[in-house]
Structure 1
Amino acid sequence: MGTLLERAAELEALEEAVAGAASGAGSVVLVAGEAGIGKTSLVRAFAARVSARARVLAGACDDLFSPRPLGPLRDAARDPGAGPLAAAARTGDREAVMGAVVEELAGPGPPTVLVVEDVHWADEGTLDVLRHAGRRVPDLPAVLVLTYRDGEAPPGHALPTLLGALTGPAVRRLTPRPLSPAAVARLSAGTGADPAALHRSTGGNPFFLSEVIASGTPADLPPATVVDAVLARIRTLDDPAREALDRLAVVPGEVELSLARALVDDLTVVAEAERRGILEVRPTAVAFRHELARRAVEEAQPVLGRMRHHARVVAALLAAPEPDLVRVVHHAVAAGDERAVAEHGPEAAAQACRAGAQTEGARLYAEVLRVAHLLDEPTRMAVQDAYSWALFHAGAGEGVRAAAEAVRLREDGDPRALAHALAVLSVQQWSDQQPAAALRSATRAAGLTEAGDSPERVFALTHLGTLLVNLDREGEALPPLEEAVAVARRADGRTPPVPLVFRGRARMALGDEDGYAEARRGLALAREAGDQDAAMMGYLNTAIALWQRGRYDEMDALLAEREEFGRGRDFPFFDHSCRSYRLRLRALRGDWDAAEAEYRAILERSGGRGVLLRYCLPGLALLAVRRGDDDAPRLLADALAYTEDSGSAFQLLPVLAAALEHAWLAGRPAPAHVAAARDLLARTDRPGRERERADVLRALARLGEPVVPFRGCPPETLAALRGDRLEAAEGWAAIGAPYERALELAESGEPGRAAAALEILDGLGARPAAARVRGALRGLGVRQVRRGARAATRAHPAGLTPRQAEILALVAEGRTNTEIAERLVLSIRTVDHHVSAVLAKLGVGSRREAADHVAAARAGADPDADAS
């Protein structure tokens, strides 16, 4: 089965990418498809073709319960051609690997191709490095090739975030298709099998097909039993060969030769398996030809047999000079070796967290806690504490239970240690929307540390103050934050950064603009001290303060600075929270498609729970309302239910504004939302909350509710409430908010301005507001009103949004991204994102294929039929 059929287009695309890299125009190639479709065969054939004119480095991700941090990059570093990456990979430092990968791709000589297979199993660190490298590849003489299975990333995996970040014309997407009946007939020629039956039974999947043909099983074998075909081939081998395969099959991915020799005394016994194409033996490793075959062999073994083989792997790994403890723990768990998990698990988890792999660290700590009865009490407490923090940084939803257990373990011990655990629990409870419980825990922690100046006192006061800030009780937060600073200075002469950041945020929320300088000072102290946790927290909370004050450009610059600082550091909670504020800004400025796609990717990763909902769900609900999406009512209801439990007006005000806007767009009353909004307006009648209050006030006014401008009301809202729509529109234009500008123009009562508003709203895809403007224009006597998107466009068969359908039509006309940007008044970067999204949804790899799709599906359609 060495013949590679019906992959000429994919090979051509990959070779074109190398040719582009040779001229300095690098690219990313994403190869997606189901298991067995031939992704590995494709990239290996490609590597062989270009080996004479490109340097190829390759690595693969393994199906371990907790992936090896930077595993595929460590594999690639073992290649004799690796340079800077080889040294960096040995350190395990993510930032060093990140820089080394880019340096490797930018090296002199022929272009470099980096292939990473099965990224649906990648760890957080690998995905972060790939995201970093992928953004830089267009300017490098390199090609980054990533393969993955559609829909097989585990729940909460960050793969969708990586794919969402890899956009633009330098990103190509290939989706190898199942083989045609003609190809199946060619491959099965001379076997006596019925080609039609083979195609039906295997669906044209190359791996399934090859196994059925090689095993000689009936051609009408149903797909669910293709595994039987794999095992039928294995059964024809002699006993020593089958035993060797059983031992090798428990190791996911490649088995390095040193480990293979430790597991199989004499590797020559697998020669026949190699000859038959079951195994591949390379100079550095042995591997099953396909992961599906390995799994079939592994799962066919009796449980006790598998456990025995995993135990052999544990012993072999530990005998190495520098054992990979993550792999040790994986096999120890599978072997039922609790003592090995207890002995090596804590350090494996700590290594993962130090490498920035918080999610992997949390998984490993969870395995250790399953054998907590084998840990001594200090170790168990330390593991429990570390597990809780890893869960917090990973943005996982189990942190409350872990932190509560840490508190329980310390109830009868040192009060200061108990206070520390309670402060951690308060953070987790706040993350889980339990404000009352969080306040009780934080208050108790502060009370337990009243005697003497200690680090635990600083920690407890800091977290009490941060909690009060997050609960809109900024005035009450200042005393504990100030005391935390004073205690720390008395204890060791240092100024702690986090209390400064939150004191600055509190002052800004109270209307004191000088608080920004204090927050920045705290952030600078964190960076100078190398306190990554404090720096990440500082960036997020300073950004929140700037957003509340409407200082959008400063917030954007701050978050760009944070993104640069965060490269090589894995703090998923802070990463996604900060990204959510950039998405709010993108949505405000009209980049709705990109904002929605990233919001949904982050929420998918959250699994519908945890603190990430706080930052993303309201923004997504507002976009859904403004676009008239079918799931807008559900998203809005979820956002309201979630924020009602928060105890925070800061969280609830924007969601209530969205609910009021939804009622206005739908033309129905909302007495409960109006009452809740008026209650919150009364609670936030103070400096520092002007912009949030203004949003709610404007939404109430649109519903016909009586409103009165307040002191400090933002100028664009003040102008609107006074009836000066043009000044209000100009104010929103200065901010860069096209939707809000369009609404003010639409309410001017002047047909020309309303028509201009309609064009903006149609461009955004704001269907409900556009429908209102059309009605208003007809009411003003305008006879010819611009038509909206056709129903056929709204329900595009490929799932394109109206804007994406519009861009597809322009791509089919042969227009460049620059021309599209000029015509639609969009940034080139936004058009890049849209074009990439269109190609992905259509399942094509080039603009030419997209144009062919349009020609085939919409022959004769009028691209301007959306307007009259």
Structure 2
Amino acid sequence: MTRTAIGPHMSDRQDTMSSVPALRTTDLIGRDAELEQLTAQLGIRTSGGDRDGEPTARAMLLAGDAGVGKTRVLTALCDAALGAGWQVVVGHCLDLADSSLPYLPFSEVLGRVVADHPDVAARVLEQHPTLARLQPGRRILSSETTSGDQALDRGNVYDAFGDLLSAVAEQAPLLLVVEDAHWADESTRDMLSFLFSRPVPGVSLVVSYRVDDLHRRHPLRRQVAEWMRLRGVDRLQLEPLTDDAVRRLVRALHPTTMSEAEYVSIVDRAEGNPFFVEELVGAAWSGQVPGELADVLLVHLDRLDETTRQVVRIVSVAGRQVSHALLAAVSHLGAAELEAALRTAVDAHVLVASRGGTYAFRHALLGEAVYDDLLPGERMRLHADFVAALAEGRAVGTAAELAQHARRADDRPVAIRASIEAGEEALAVGGPSEAATHFLDALELLDTTRTPVADIDSHALARRCADALVASGRVPKAVKVLRARLATLPADAPRTDRGQLLTALASALMLTDTTESPTETAAEAVELLRDAPPKLLARALLVQARSLSGWHADEARSIALQALELAERHDLTSLAVELHATIAGLDPSAGTSPAAGWRAAADRARRAGLIEPELRALYLLGRLHQDDGDLDAAIEVYGEVLARSEVGGMTWSPYAAEARLLLAVALTHQGRLDEAWELLDVTGQNPPMVFEWLFFAQQMLITIGIRGDTHSRALERLRDYWGTDGLTAIVSGSAELMRATAAGDAAGARKVYDDVVASVVPLWHEWFQARLRLSTLVVGAFAAAAPRQSSDERAAAAAGVDRMMADGARVIDFYAPYDGSHGPEYRMWVARRTAEHLRWRWLAQVEPPRADELVDAWRAAEETAVAYGSVPELAQVRVRLAGVLRATGDAAAVARKVADLAREAAHAIGARPMLAELTAQGSAPSPPSAGDEVVLTPRESEVLALVAEGRTNGEIGKQLFISTKTVSVHVSNVLAKLDAASRTEAVAVARRRGLL
């Protein structure tokens, strides 16, 4: 790749790519194949020339190390698109360190559309007025701070931007390029996910990012993996140039004679990186070949005059790019002198100028090297100059930019105020994670500033920060922030300060597993705020009522009604809405069912624009349906929670994240294991760690517990989180118990049970309800091991079985007074407990039950499993019922019928341990009678036909436009219906029965 001509403007074809050099490339060395692949797959042109082609991908990810040539390839791609009659628009992600500016590249795109297509932009902005908030001119520093009450509806932003692209694409195909996604903020990544998953007709999307910047915990690392699973999204990795290509590039850059030693030096040192090649060739022109990369990056500066070097240093402090106006305000140079210096820097290939009036380094690495080369005092002084220019209004910029410069200039008062303003702006556009980062910065600066900053209430800021942390799912961090703020309060601090912090702390404690009592904290807050303004007291009473609702419903209802009366008397509308959502599940005298009450509370919160109370009410409604065994209704409501959380920018808030888990649990019970897995696969979405591991635990329950895969190390890794999250311990512990049962390891199962209990009891309470299920699984493990044990081993096992039965009995006794806890799932495990115990006694020959008693117990277990509707649990019960029927000498036909039902379900969900258990029992499928008729769904018939042609699951998925996992489910269903052990056998059986 080479640049042989540099003009003062962009391409003659009106390329709108800002921050990309205005180049006319005569050669694209070493990248012809990559450019051809991009243009062909996106449908810009075919390999035969410039004819329009049919796209094979609607979106491309362009990956590569820094300096490998991504921007150069994108420039050539944009030129090719413009030459084919396409429109091109580009947005850039900028490195603002911790000062993220949500949706920055899309603000840039919107600004370009407004400039190039004012009529289209005006029409879309009229239809979606909230989109105007993302216009570049609307994001500059202002005396008006956007409050959280004016927050953008994230769903509207997505729809509006999609409509904007669609409107532009009506005139001609549109190529949208987003550069440097490794610097993208969370909101930008979410927008990209929306565009990847919901393509806009006539629009192709290309996103570039640095591979070498994606460390293990980088949020984009997992996001890319998720994007790659979407249909129509492909990835192109730019690899280093070959040695021959490097030599050709060197010859193009330096056509004069060069010695072989110089060629070898450049080839060896550049390692195929075109940027390094250019820098090394530039150094060779000046007779200097630096020994280290930093020297290579900085060598061009040595040939600049002092004024130009100073301007370049100022640009490095500004960041990736800087406007001419801001440079003029900071440099203090005259117009002619500044323009001359900029011209010199551009001609020397150090800076590039965009049509929008901004300047940037030709490569980001060069800017970083220049910045690192500054002396500490010089760096701080230049940042201070930027602070002065922005704060005094001599140039425009964002609050995030001002905060960044003020922090690095050690101007703490300005940095604190700007960070707070940046946080409020992030909240206003649905970016709670970015807002929390800004608020945390402000708190840290406040704590280390000796002189108090006027008009900044650190306690209010801590509460605001905690709210943002909770909204982004980082509840433990919110608790830590509030505790730290409480620790700084002097003994004589106002009661209202302590009371409000305790109210916020109690609210956060209820959302996480902790040994600290939220009830006691909430009660203390109420006492402190008895004489406080009504709004503060009502809020404290609300939190206290919530903290009591689990075990003390009558007291919670009384307190909530007291708070509601206070809120309504003082016109505290928002609090009243939240209280209605709380009372919905507590007030049986309201004349409506809890389900109707929560639905009404959710609707009321939605009308009031209060997203958190709406999510809470919907979450509780879903829980109610699930507890009642109405899995279809629960799935529908949980889906609504997820949709509404995305709209409000609260995807990882506690209620939304737990709704995702419970939705996966409900899908698992319905036998839709692949759907559950995909829902829990949040690769690239960067959820809070507690949910990331909880979701992973449920995935392991599916793959290891139900399907019998072996991932022992995965379960061992999950144990690190048992002590901080009880649900993770229970879910992953259940997977370990099921694995131990399949292996006949009763002692291992008992050890797992003890470990789970030891982890969960300090976080919850001793007789938590899941202990009934866990102890029952252990009894089942003892029963599975009994046939292979000696009489002495069986006698010794009796003590362990008795302890598990006693633990289960304690749980049943504990929950006996609470009628609301006796749902169909609870009754299923009570019946299963009895059946497993009798089965162990039968197999171990320890006071064995009568045969009819054993069969009746398993029939009762089957009946309760049917009532709950859990496909895996019903299949497991029928596996064991079939074994019991065979062992007790029941009619072979009855046992075989039950086994066939179990086998069909086990095949459908891929439960290999259940199939192995059936095989061990000596069970075989019933032979088909002449009257048996196999009924395949239309989709199963399509899949079977393609299987008969020898297609793989991946090939079938592409042809039918469904995922490979979905194909696998259909194939499993076909095998089960045809009683076939393999694809070949299924095809043969289908041909015999006339199904093909």
TM-score (norm 1): 0.79
- Structure 1 residue 184 and structure 2 residue 246: aligned? yes
**577, 582, 594: which one pairs with 1:515?**
594
* Distance in 2, Cα, partners of 1:547 & 1:196: 69
Name 1:712's counterpart in structure 2: none
Structure 1, unaligned stretches of length 5 or more? 709-717, 786-806, 831-861
* Distance in 1, Cα, partners of 2:369 & 2:877: 64
* Deviation for aligned residue 1:350: 1.9
Q: What pairs with 1:415-564 in structure 2 (closer than 5 Å)? A: 415-450=495-530, 454-469=534-549, 471-492=550-571, 496-505=576-585, 514-564=593-643
* Deviation for aligned residue 1:378: 5.2
**Residue pair 2:581, 2:613 contacting (<8 A) in 1 also:** no
- Structure 1 residue 393 and structure 2 residue 471: aligned? yes
Name 2:106's counterpart in structure 1: 73
Task: Give the 3-state SS of the residue equivalent to 1:398 in structure 2.
Answer: helix
* Distance in 2, Cα, partners of 1:782 & 1:412: 78
Q: Structure 1 pair 19/366, CA: closer, same or farther in 2 (3 Å)?
A: same
**177, 200, 205: which one pairs with 2:273?**
205
Task: Give the 3-state SS of the residue equivalent to 1:431 in structure 2.
Answer: coil
* Deviation for aligned residue 1:118: 2.4
**Residue pair 2:41, 2:56 contacting (<8 A) in 1 also:** no
Name 2:934's counterpart in structure 1: none
Name 1:723's counterpart in structure 2: 859
**Residue pair 1:246, 1:297 contacting (<8 A) in 2 also:** yes
- Structure 1 residue 104 and structure 2 residue 104: aligned? no
Name 1:848's counterpart in structure 2: none
* Distance in 1, Cα, partners of 2:666 & 2:61: 29
* Deviation for aligned residue 1:129: 2.6
Name 2:658's counterpart in structure 1: 577
Q: Structure 1 pair 825/15, CA: closer, same or farther in 2 (3 Å)?
A: closer
**Residue pair 1:625, 1:658 contacting (<8 A) in 2 also:** no
1:211-250 deviation digits (Å, cap 9, x = unpaired): 334433999x99x942331123332333222222211112
Q: Structure 1 pair 544/169, CA: closer, same or farther in 2 (3 Å)?
A: same
Q: Structure 1 pair 73/452, CA: closer, same or farther in 2 (3 Å)?
A: closer
Task: Give the 3-state SS of the residue equivalent to 2:65 in structure 1.
Answer: coil
- Structure 2 counterpart of 1:89, one-letter code: L
* Distance in 2, Cα, partners of 1:178 & 1:780: 59
Tell which deviates more after alignment, 374-383 or 248-257. 374-383
Tell which deviates more after alignment, 296-305 or 679-688. 679-688
* Deviation for aligned residue 1:303: 1.6
**Residue pair 1:72, 1:126 contacting (<8 A) in 2 also:** yes
Task: Give the 3-state SS of the residue equivalent to 2:682 in structure 1.
Answer: helix
Name 1:370's counterpart in structure 2: 444
Q: Structure 1 pair 312/370, CA: closer, same or farther in 2 (3 Å)?
A: same
Tell which deviates more after alignment, 352-361 or 694-703. 694-703
Name 1:277's counterpart in structure 2: 349
1:94-131 deviation digits (Å, cap 9, x = unpaired): 43543331111211211223222222322232233333
1:175-212 deviation digits (Å, cap 9, x = unpaired): 22232344334324465357777566444333334433
- Structure 2 counterpart of 1:103, one-letter code: D
- Structure 2 counterpart of 1:140, one-letter code: P
1:621-649 deviation digits (Å, cap 9, x = unpaired): 53354244223532563564331167547
**Residue pair 1:584, 1:595 contacting (<8 A) in 2 also:** yes
**687, 690, 699: which one pairs with 2:819?**
687
Q: Structure 1 pair 335/624, CA: closer, same or farther in 2 (3 Å)?
A: farther
Q: What pairs with 1:402-413 in structure 2 (closer than 5 Å)? A: 402-407=481-486, 408-409=488-489, 412-413=492-493
* Deviation for aligned residue 1:68: 1.1
Tell which deviates more after alignment, 435-444 or 11-20. 11-20
Task: Give the 3-state SS of the residue equivalent to 2:470 in structure 1.
Answer: helix
- Structure 1 counterpart of 2:372, one-letter code: E
Q: What pairs with 1:215-230 in structure 2 (closer than 5 Å)? A: 215-216=283-284, 225-230=292-297
1:412-464 deviation digits (Å, cap 9, x = unpaired): 45534533321101122333422543222111122334458822222112112
* Distance in 2, Cα, partners of 1:71 & 1:534: 30
1:643-687 deviation digits (Å, cap 9, x = unpaired): 116754799545874686589679678878776555434323333
* Distance in 2, Cα, partners of 1:719 & 1:496: 55
Task: Give the 3-state SS of the residue equivalent to 1:371 in structure 2.
Answer: helix
1:601-620 deviation digits (Å, cap 9, x = unpaired): 379945645xx479646534
Q: Structure 1 pair 112/776, CA: closer, same or farther in 2 (3 Å)?
A: same
Task: Give the 3-state SS of the residue equivalent to 1:390 in structure 2.
Answer: helix
Task: Give the 3-state SS of the residue equivalent to 1:248 in structure 2.
Answer: helix
Task: Give the 3-state SS of the residue equivalent to 1:816 in structure 2.
Answer: helix
* Deviation for aligned residue 1:300: 1.8
**336, 344, 361: which one pairs with 2:418?**
344
Q: Structure 1 pair 448/27, CA: closer, same or farther in 2 (3 Å)?
A: same
Structure 2, unaligned stretches of length 5 or more? 3-27, 46-51, 126-130, 140-150, 252-256, 727-759, 786-796, 842-853, 884-894, 928-949, 974-981, 989-996
* Distance in 1, Cα, partners of 2:381 & 2:913: 68
Q: Structure 1 pair 162/179, CA: closer, same or farther in 2 (3 Å)?
A: closer
1:503-528 deviation digits (Å, cap 9, x = unpaired): 334579x9x99101111111111111
**Residue pair 2:953, 2:967 contacting (<8 A) in 1 also:** no
- Structure 1 residue 144 and structure 2 residue 218: aligned? no
Task: Give the 3-state SS of the residue equivalent to 2:178 in structure 1.
Answer: strand
**Residue pair 1:132, 1:567 contacting (<8 A) in 2 also:** no
Name 1:248's counterpart in structure 2: 315
- Structure 1 residue 16 and structure 2 residue 41: aligned? yes
Task: Give the 3-state SS of the residue equivalent to 2:204 in structure 1.
Answer: strand
Q: What pairs with 1:586-735 in structure 2 (closer than 5 Å)? A: 586-590=667-671, 592=673, 595-596=676-677, 599=680, 601=682, 605=686, 608-609=689-690, 612=691, 616=695, 619-623=698-702, 625-626=704-705, 627-634=709-716, 637-638=719-720, 640-641=722-723, 642-643=725-726, 644=760, 647-648=763-764, 653-654=769-770, 657=773, 661=777, 677-685=808-816, 686-689=818-821, 690-694=823-827, 696-697=829-830, 700=833, 704=837, 721-723=857-859, 735=869
Task: Give the 3-state SS of the residue equivalent to 1:526 in structure 2.
Answer: helix
**Residue pair 2:439, 2:461 contacting (<8 A) in 1 also:** yes
* Distance in 2, Cα, partners of 1:603 & 1:146: 15
- Structure 1 residue 816 and structure 2 residue 894: aligned? no
**379, 391, 400: which one pairs with 1:326?**
400
Task: Give the 3-state SS of the residue equivalent to 1:395 in structure 2.
Answer: coil
**444, 455, 461: which one pairs with 1:383?**
461
RMSD: 4.5
1:21-50 deviation digits (Å, cap 9, x = unpaired): 998998332233333333333323212211
**Residue pair 1:501, 1:518 contacting (<8 A) in 2 also:** yes
Tell which deviates more after alignment, 437-446 or 3-12. 3-12
Q: Structure 1 pair 465/731, CA: closer, same or farther in 2 (3 Å)?
A: same
* Distance in 1, Cα, partners of 2:924 & 2:583: 55
Tell which deviates more after alignment, 657-666 or 349-358. 657-666
Q: Structure 1 pair 782/32, CA: closer, same or farther in 2 (3 Å)?
A: same
1:446-501 deviation digits (Å, cap 9, x = unpaired): 233445882222211211222233x5554543332233223323333857222332
Q: Structure 1 pair 820/136, CA: closer, same or farther in 2 (3 Å)?
A: closer
**Residue pair 2:329, 2:394 contacting (<8 A) in 1 also:** no
Q: Structure 1 pair 456/813, CA: closer, same or farther in 2 (3 Å)?
A: closer
Aligned residues: 793
- Structure 2 counterpart of 1:206, one-letter code: P
